[in-house]
Amino acid sequence: MNDDETAAQQLAALKAEHRRLDDEIAALVAEGAADQLEIARLKKRKLRLKDEIERMRDRSVPDIIA
């Protein structure tokens, strides 16, 4: 397995985790009696995952010298 395949698998795993957190947050909010602290914690984790996904995407795109 080469680096591109490994990076693609890591990116897919991060995206899946991001979607799972989104679903978990939506379920807690829909429940109504959700703990706001728990929701805030999950949202922060989701943002960290989004940042990591963007960093991985940035690393995969070569810089173009204009």
**What separation, in Å, do the N-terminal and C-terminal C-alpha atoms of the chain show?**
33
In a domain, 66, yes or no: no
Model confidence pLDDT, tens digit, residues 4-54: 788 889 999 999 999 999 999 999 999 886 789 999 999 999 999 999 999
In a domain, 29, yes or no: yes
How many separate domains does the chain show? Answer: 1
In a domain, 11, yes or no: yes
In a domain, 19, yes or no: yes
In a domain, 24, yes or no: yes
Confidence of residue 66 (pLDDT cuts 50, 70, 90): low
For residue 22, what are the contacts with CB-CB under 8 A and spacing of at least 6? 46
Q: Which residues constitute the domain of residue 46? A: 3-59
What is the model's pTM?
0.79
